[in-house]
Amino acid sequence: MWSAVRTVGTVAFAAVLAAVGVVGLQAPSTSHPDVVLAAVLDRHGAEPSGGVSIFADEPALNNSGWASCPDPIAWNVDTSGLSKAAAARQLANLRWALAQWNRASGLEFRYAGEAALVYDESTFSLTRADGYVPPERHIYLSFIADGSSRLLGGATVGQGGPSAVIAAAREIVTANAVFRIDHVVRASTRAVRSLYLHELGHALGLAHLRSSRSVMYPTVTDQVRLGAGDIKGVRSLTKPCP
């Protein structure tokens, strides 16, 4: 899921991220269930031939991708909704999931620490409570209480997607993902790692795939190995380092 992607029209990177902070995000144009516990196949958008699916419902993202040069993509997490022990566990699982995507794509990620993040569901955005806008590409991750979210309720346990793209450079520069607390504290390590791979895949720009051997399959599985379509997809949206 990646509604509310903000398109920005300048290539000056720091200026772009500052602009993201002051200009309201557009309202979500589409909303559909994300990773769900029941065996419900996502019906939004057909999977293209070749078993790769990216940018399903955001034209602004067409031919866009991530770079991690010269600096890695920074990521912050807000685990304030979790106990200390649960936070440590989930941080380890998130690191593990990002390492898998790093291995597949070459994209580098740098953990930038805990941050108090404010979740605005109307724009599916996470922003820092202290107002700070990092001058680098970044991903924000947070844990949301069941019942406090319309997007994360019932069988839906996670959401993720890019949140800003530099239109001229076709470069995704920020992304968000949120996870439901009651699910992640109960789920097995394998199931929660599968969820993180999936939502981080969306954050990187991947859509759903129909193959249950893919982590981008639209329902929760215990798949913790990236499938061929996942790998092909993330490689296609990784911008090469000079």
- Which residues of the shown chain bind Zn ion in the complex (CB under 5 A)? 34
CB of 3 to Zn ion, least distance (A): 12
User: Which C-beta is closer to Zn ion: that of 19 or that of 155?
Assistant: 155
Q: Nearer Cβ to Zn ion, position 128 or 213? A: 213
Query: What's the CA gap between 225 and 242, in Å, rounded?
Result: 29
Nearer Cβ to Zn ion (34/230): 34
Nearer to Zn ion, 40 or 99 (CB): 40
d(CA 181, CA 142): 9
Q: 8 or 158: whose CB is closer to Zn ion?
A: 158
CA dist., res. 159 & res. 142, Å (int): 10
Please report how close the Cβ of residue 97 comes to Zn ion at its closest, in angstroms.
14
Quick one: DSSP state of residue 114?
Answer: E
Place of tokens 């994209």: 107
CA 28 to chain centre: 16
Q: Which residue has the tokens 């399959």?
A: 217
| Distance in Å, CB of 103 to Zn ion, minimum | 21
- Least distance from C-beta 187 to Zn ion, angstroms? 16
Residues facing 154 on adjacent strands: none
Question: Least separation, in Å, of the C-beta of 168 and Zn ion?
Answer: 28
The separation between CA 44 and the C-alpha centre of its own chain, rounded to angstroms, equals 18
Backbone torsions φ then ψ of 228, nearest 5 degrees: -60, -40
- Conformation bin of residue 63: beta by default, left when phi > 0, alpha when psi is -120 to 50: left
